[in-house]
Amino acid sequence: MPRLKPEELRSFRWFGREAMRTFNHRSRVAQMGYDRREYAGKPVIAILNTWSDINPCHTHFKQRVEEIKRGVWQSGGFPLEMPAMSVSEPFQKPSPLLYRNLLAMEVEELLRSHPVDGAVLMGGCDKTTPGLIMGATSMRIPFIYMPAGPMLKGNASGRTLGSGSDMFKFWNELRAGTIGMQQWEDVLSGIARSPGHCMTMGTASTMTSAAEALGLTLPGAASIPAPDSRHAQMAVLTGMRIVEMVWEDLRPARILSAESFDNAITTVLALGGSTNALVHLLAMARRAGIALTLDRFDQLAQRTPLIANVRPAGAFLMEDFYYAGGLPALLERVRDLVHVDAPTANGHTLGENIAGARVFNDEVILPREKALVQGGSLAILRGNLAPDGAVIKPAAADARLHRHTGRAVVFNDYHDLSARIDDPALAVDENSVLVLQNAGPLGGPGMPEWGQLPIPKKLLQAGVRDMVRISDARMSGTSFGACVLHVAPESFIGGPLALVRDGDLIELDIPARSLQLKVDAAELERRRAQWQAPEPRYRRGYGALFAQHVTQANDGCDFAFLADQSAVPEPDIF
């Protein structure tokens, strides 16, 4: 393996040459208390830390960053911690997706404008994984991802609780009157009881696992629970490895390929992962110059069995998944479905990394013949209601709804929904199709996770637990139900979803991959002519920038100018 020479390091331009400006840089490093021998001729490693007091999933990052530094020092690198925007899923409104691209821009420019040779990315809470990877991929220097790890299993009143899923479930029970406030409070105190990201197969576990399958982490890294001492050890090893990656000049272009994205998609499908992965993987692939499309997800879904028995699709949680062998064991079970020759961050191929990985619990990582779903765990729908596509997880939907025609009950936006959904006078029954408009990338804005529209209270009380729901929003990976999501183009820009009226017939046919509004074309044209574009959500600031440049869900909701593959010049140093 050819290795860089010290004078070929990117940071050499800042520190290595003799000039007034390099003197200034060296004097400022001295000001921070470092002797020249600590950094001269060594790879400078930026550790991008998304710790924040308002991000409960990353509370252990103050400790983990020290462990990463330890690894960097021990391998002869020079570690520098740099804080990056945390994108805290539970707290950031109106939707954390609004800020994923801002994090990606921050990452790229932090790396470009500083003397950095390689980077460790510390993330885990939903949008941090794609945001960090998108930015570092565009910067095109060696990087490695350190996933936060899932939190421990939730527990209260003798019951195991899963992030998100059990909140939705018990909220429905509270509204239906089947549990009281005391039980609700017990769930609150026990559902998140350690550092780490959500421990169901939500977006966080889905995306950290996808990052591992892409080859961007050390093998097995994504499954280790955050409080486990093996997580700390993984952090040290990650710090050690990035230094070698710099010397080997192991840039993202040498790891990311159409094959590695196939591996990530196959992983998401075998895990029963979040539909959010579609938006993120589309955006990440395009940053790497790979023209991934929605259809590839549907194609790979046909052949990939869902074998992770993890909630919300299954019964267990990420802690159980780790003890059962974790992602390497799962991938070994679908070895014939992945590109084993894909290179990874540790210098070995994916196939070498998973070779011999054993499953220790067949109930958690299922044998292929006992898969929860043999194929088709995800479906891409098209039709006159979603010309550019929409997505549904058939396995999460009541089977009786896989082919369903019902009358639309339309909500113009989420305010309208929350004002009327529980109104006893709402004209709705269990066969109705609930439609939410103006919840897409521009309409939400930021495509909030509103896609699991609540079941009207009167239907809940009558025992209804699933209905067909359609929106241009996303849905939490921990959600479930017959929810058609990511309808594109979105209603806010005049997509056909904007033209649906109360009482229209809508036909969902998952086996046929079809979503049709049963209204004749002339009537739709009449409605289109009457449709008026809503006022923009923002007139200034980041929101206005977002609105100007964001792409639709089928293109990954990136900014078009960031997905551009033109080279950006290195900064001049004078």
By the rule CB under 6 A, 60 interacts with ligand FES: no
Q: Which is nearer to ligand FES, 57 or 265 (CB)?
A: 57
Looking only at the bridges linking them, the beta strands covering 433-436 and 468-471 are parallel
By the rule CB under 6 A, 197 interacts with ligand FES: yes
By the rule CB under 6 A, 89 interacts with ligand FES: yes
Q: Which is nearer to ligand FES, 203 or 257 (CB)?
A: 203
Q: Which is nearer to ligand FES, 52 or 309 (CB)?
A: 52
Instruction: State the nearest-atom distance from the C-beta of 163 to ligand FES, in Å.
Output: 6
Which two tokens mark 268? 């998401």
Instruction: State the nearest-atom distance from the C-beta of 29 to ligand FES, in Å.
Output: 35
Taking contact as CB under 6 A, which single stretch among the options 198-206, 278-286, 437-445, 527-535 is the one that binds ligand FES?
198-206
Amino acid 441 reads P
Would you say 394 and 402 are in contact if contact means Cβ atoms under 8 Å apart?
A: yes
Distance (Å, rounded) from C-alpha 345 to C-alpha 327?
Answer: 16
User: Which listed residue (45, 57, 255, 378) binds ligand FES by CB under 6 A?
Assistant: 57
3-state secondary structure 125-176: CCCHHHHHHHHHHHHCCCEEEEECCECCCEEECCEEECCCHHHHHHHHHHHH
Q: Which is nearer to ligand FES, 57 or 499 (CB)?
A: 57
**Sign of the Cα pseudo-torsion (217, 138, 100, 63, in order):** positive
Q: Which is nearer to ligand FES, 198 or 222 (CB)?
A: 198
By the rule CB under 6 A, 98 interacts with ligand FES: no
Q: Which is nearer to ligand FES, 57 or 379 (CB)?
A: 57
3-state secondary structure 278-324: HHHHHHHHHHCCCCCCHHHHHHHHHHCCECECECCCCCECHHHHHHC
Instruction: State the nearest-atom distance from the C-beta of 480 to ligand FES, in Å.
Output: 16
By the rule CB under 6 A, 198 interacts with ligand FES: yes
Would you say 122 and 86 are in contact if contact means Cβ atoms under 8 Å apart?
A: no
User: Which listed residue (141, 204, 264, 482) binds ligand FES by CB under 6 A?
Assistant: 204
Taking contact as CB under 6 A, which single stretch among the options 30-38, 196-204, 264-272, 312-320 is the one that binds ligand FES?
196-204
Would you say 168 and 187 are in contact if contact means Cβ atoms under 8 Å apart?
A: no
Residues between 143 and 172 that touch ligand FES (CB under 6 A): 163
Distance (Å, rounded) from C-alpha 25 to C-alpha 114?
Answer: 11
Instruction: State the nearest-atom distance from the C-beta of 149 to ligand FES, in Å.
Output: 11
Give me the helices (H) in 475-556, please.
Answer: 521-530, 541-549
Count of residues that bind ligand FES according to CB under 6 A: 10
Would you say 449 and 98 are in contact if contact means Cβ atoms under 8 Å apart?
A: no
Which of 265, 267, 259 shows the shortest CA–CA distance to 310? Answer: 267
Distance (Å, rounded) from C-alpha 314 to C-alpha 361?
Answer: 14
Task: Give the 3-state secondary structure of residue 82.
Answer: strand
Instruction: State the nearest-atom distance from the C-beta of 104 to ligand FES, in Å.
Output: 18
User: 456: phi > 0 → left, psi -120 to 50 → alpha, else beta; which?
Assistant: beta
* Span between the terminal Cα atoms of the chain, in Å: 34
Instruction: State the nearest-atom distance from the C-beta of 345 to ligand FES, in Å.
Output: 22
Q: Which is nearer to ligand FES, 90 or 375 (CB)?
A: 90
Residues 6+ apart with CB under 8 A from 548: none
Q: Which is nearer to ligand FES, 125 or 396 (CB)?
A: 125
By the rule CB under 6 A, 317 interacts with ligand FES: no
Q: Which residue has the tokens 């404008």?
A: 113
x/- binding map, residues 99-138, to ligand FES, per CB under 6 A? Answer: --------------------------xx------------
Which of 147, 301, 303 shows the shortest CA–CA distance to 223? Answer: 147
Q: Which is nearer to ligand FES, 187 or 410 (CB)?
A: 187
Burial class (CB in 10 A: 0-12, 13-18, 19+), 143: buried
Give me the helices (H) in 439-574, please.
Answer: 457-461, 521-530, 541-549, 560-563
Would you say 204 and 125 are in contact if contact means Cβ atoms under 8 Å apart?
A: yes
Instruction: State the nearest-atom distance from the C-beta of 309 to ligand FES, in Å.
Output: 20
Residues between 15 and 44 that touch ligand FES (CB under 6 A): none
Taking contact as CB under 6 A, which single stretch among the options 194-202, 377-385, 443-451, 481-489 is the one that binds ligand FES?
194-202
Distance (Å, rounded) from C-alpha 225 to C-alpha 60?
Answer: 11
**Alpha-carbon torsion angle 425, 426, 432, 434, nearest 10:** -160
Q: Which is nearer to ligand FES, 444 or 495 (CB)?
A: 444
By the rule CB under 6 A, 90 interacts with ligand FES: yes
By the rule CB under 6 A, 212 interacts with ligand FES: no
Instruction: State the nearest-atom distance from the C-beta of 89 to ligand FES, in Å.
Output: 4
Q: Which is nearer to ligand FES, 242 or 318 (CB)?
A: 318
Instruction: State the nearest-atom distance from the C-beta of 128 to ligand FES, in Å.
Output: 8
Instruction: State the nearest-atom distance from the C-beta of 191 to ligand FES, in Å.
Output: 11
Instruction: State the nearest-atom distance from the C-beta of 190 to ligand FES, in Å.
Output: 16
Instruction: State the nearest-atom distance from the C-beta of 560 to ligand FES, in Å.
Output: 28
Instruction: State the nearest-atom distance from the C-beta of 377 to ligand FES, in Å.
Output: 21
Chain residues in the site for ligand FES (CB under 6 A) = 57, 89-90, 125-126, 163, 197-198, 202, 204
